[in-house]
């Protein structure tokens, strides 16, 4: 009896299960901003989501100025290998598919653009160069690039975009011109030139236009059923948006410099905790940013070497030679730090030069102070304090006696043994022999004591207390500094 009830329940539920299983689904992802490892992982997860849901198609709403070559190629590999049609929709109005965005659009099975959008401008960008004007010819071997490396990169990009356009029956000649000459067209020209398949106002009209469209892919034929499909949006998470912001090469570079400077300042000045805390936080953020970027270890090592050269120049007597080497190392290291490939620029050259000049200027200022300090005569102890000061003679110097200087009485001897200086005269300290001062007379025109005509609250050698403080009518106690 129980078996019969269970069978009846399954039969009753079967139509409902079958209806939901047969209901078409379309996953919609949004690629907005620079193409980088964050967006690469995001698109890969969106494809996994569509595969797991047995979606009828994946639609990527695209708006990008370009991005990293490695990330762009990785995304294209995912799109081409997907077991269902992938639609790239350049939207909303005002969006663009520039540089690496053109390659992603041409890698899709169906390419669509919204009104007011544009596509193109995919000429390679060469990091660390002036990026001369693109070649005027679209033919494969007529590039006017200034050296063989640039020609190789340009030809590679041109062949790649031709392969993608040809695969999806788009205008391969125009696509190559977009690489070699950086041409860019609005949506109406893109449709008429067969750069993309058609124009659509929004997602709703796109789903209607795609319904019933047959797509051939990887030796199979797919029919899109999108008119009444359930739309499942798969958006970038908040944490991933933060990571995408940090993954900017310029921000990563600034965070790295801040971390090195902050932690370095804290190590050399242990009492200052704020620079250390700021440096540690910047270091963690820099590590996160660099983890999501194609870092060139040689560039990172050069930046560290540059900072070490700046520091060593403060210790060694090189008069700026190491600082000059540090400037060169930091510029080259900054240019090499992020390996962006040929689709996007790395660290902004103006930002790189400004930061290098600021750091080098700071170290040059400190170095100048260090050099000035090294050129001063050596001075240490009481000798450096008293030499050059004038003192009041309290006990006649014949040639030895007592003088009052800097709030204390000192034994003193004249440099000229044959002279005698009476009490009340002014002499100048010219040196010290242990605890005995060597003095010389001061002409009356210069006789202005600088060592304290009267005793201070604490002398250098003895402490003046109420018990031994001299009155106005008597001489101070005859004490010897010790």
Position 116 scores a pLDDT of 96
Of 205-209, 325-329, 421-425, 427-431, the one with minimum mean pLDDT is 325-329
Return the bridge partners of 167, or none: none
Position 415 scores a pLDDT of 86
Is pLDDT above 60 for 216?
Answer: yes
Position 360 scores a pLDDT of 77
- Higher pLDDT pick, 379 / 23: 23
Per-residue three-class SS string for 16-60: HHHHHHHCCEEEEEEEECCECHHHHHHHHHHHHHHHHCCCCEEEE
The model's confidence at residue 306, banded by pLDDT at 50, 70 and 90, is confident
**Average pLDDT value for the chain:** 79
Segment 76-80 mean pLDDT:
96
DSSP letter, residue 319? T
Phi, psi of 112 (to 5 degrees): -135, 150
Is pLDDT above 60 for 222?
Answer: yes
Is pLDDT above 80 for 212?
Answer: yes
Is pLDDT above 60 for 382?
Answer: no
* 393-419 confidence digits (pLDDT tens): 999 998 899 999 877 889 999 988 778
Of 119-123, 137-141, 229-233, 292-296, the one with minimum mean pLDDT is 137-141
Sign, CA dihedral 443-444-446-449, equals: positive
Position 376 scores a pLDDT of 61
Is pLDDT above 90 for 264?
Answer: no
Position 89 scores a pLDDT of 97
* 111-151 confidence digits (pLDDT tens): 999 999 999 999 887 654 444 555 554 444 444 445 787 88
Phi, psi of 86 (to 5 degrees): -115, 130
Question: Rounded CA gap, 142 and 253, in Å?
Answer: 37
Residue pointed to by tokens 């539920």: 13
Position 373 scores a pLDDT of 67
Residue pointed to by tokens 């010819």: 137
The model's confidence at residue 230, banded by pLDDT at 50, 70 and 90, is very high
Q: What stretches of 201-348 show up as alpha helix (H) in DSSP? A: 203-210, 238-246, 249-268, 273-291, 297-315, 321-336
The model's confidence at residue 74, banded by pLDDT at 50, 70 and 90, is very high
> Could you give the C-alpha distances from 446 to 426, 429, 431, 442, 450, in angstroms and in order?
9, 14, 19, 6, 11
Segment 422-450 mean pLDDT:
81
Q: What angle do CA 15, 20, 23 make, to 5 degrees?
A: 120
* 314-343 confidence digits (pLDDT tens): 677 666 677 778 778 888 888 777 765 544
- Higher pLDDT pick, 244 / 318: 244
Percent of residues, the chain, with pLDDT higher than 90: 37
* 142-184 confidence digits (pLDDT tens): 444 457 878 888 899 999 999 999 999 999 999 999 999 999 9
């Amino acid at each position: 009896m129980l078996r019969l009830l269970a069978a009846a329940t399954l039969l009753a539920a079967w139509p409902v299960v079958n209806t939901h299983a047969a209901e078409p689904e379309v996953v919609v992802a949004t690629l907005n901003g620079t193409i980088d490892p964050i967006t690469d992982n995001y698109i890969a997860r969106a494809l996994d989501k569509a595969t797991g849901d047995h979606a009828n198609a994946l639609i990527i709403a695209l708006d990008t100025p370009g991005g990293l070559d490695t990330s762009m190629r990785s995304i294209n590999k995912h799109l081409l290998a997907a077991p269902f049609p992938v639609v790239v929709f350049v939207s909303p109005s005002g969006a663009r598919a520039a540089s690496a965005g053109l390659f992603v659009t041409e890698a899709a099975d169906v390419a669509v653009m919204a009104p007011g959008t544009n596509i193109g401008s995919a000429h390679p960008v060469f990091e660390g160069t002036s990026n001369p004007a693109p070649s005027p010819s679209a033919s494969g071997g007529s590039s006017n690039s200034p050296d063989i490396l640039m020609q190789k990169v340009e030809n590679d990009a041109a062949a790649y975009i031709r392969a993608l356009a040809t695969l999806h029956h788009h205008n391969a000649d125009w696509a190559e011109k977009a690489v070699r000459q950086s041409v860019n067209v609005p949506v109406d020209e893109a449709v008429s030139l067969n750069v993309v398949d058609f124009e659509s106002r929004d997602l709703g009209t796109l789903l209607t236009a795609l319904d019933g469209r047959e797509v051939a892919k990887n030796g199979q034929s797919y029919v899109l059923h999108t008119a009444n499909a359930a739309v499942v949006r798969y958006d970038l998470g908040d944490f991933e948006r933060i990571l995408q912001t940090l993954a900017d090469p310029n921000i990563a570079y600034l965070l790295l410099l801040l971390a090195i400077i902050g932690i370095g300042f804290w190590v050399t000045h242990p009492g200052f905790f704020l620079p250390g805390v700021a440096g540690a936080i910047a270091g963690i953020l820099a590590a996160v940013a660099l983890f999501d970027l194609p870092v060139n270890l040689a560039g990172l090592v050069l930046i560290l070497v540059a900072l070490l050269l700046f520091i060593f120049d403060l210790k060694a007597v090189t008069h700026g030679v190491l600082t000059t080497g540090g400037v060169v190392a930091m510029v080259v290291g900054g240019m090499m730090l992020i390996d962006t490939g040929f689709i996007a620029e790395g660290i902004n050259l103006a930002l790189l030069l400004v930061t290098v000049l600021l750091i080098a200027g700071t170290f040059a200022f400190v170095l100048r102070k260090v050099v000035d300090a090294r050129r001063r005569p050596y001075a240490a102890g009481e000798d450096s304090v008293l030499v050059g000061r004038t003192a009041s003679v309290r006990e006649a110097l014949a040639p030895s006696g007592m003088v009052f200087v800097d709030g204390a009485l000192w034994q003193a001897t004249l440099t000229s043994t044959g002279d005698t200086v009476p009490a009340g005269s002014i002499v100048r300290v010219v040196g010290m022999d242990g605890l005995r001062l060597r003095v010389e007379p001061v002409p009356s025109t210069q006789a202005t004591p600088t060592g304290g005509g009267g005793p201070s609250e604490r002398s250098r050698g003895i402490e003046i207390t109420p018990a031994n403080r001299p009155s106005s009518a008597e001489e101070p106690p005859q004490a010897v500094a010790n």
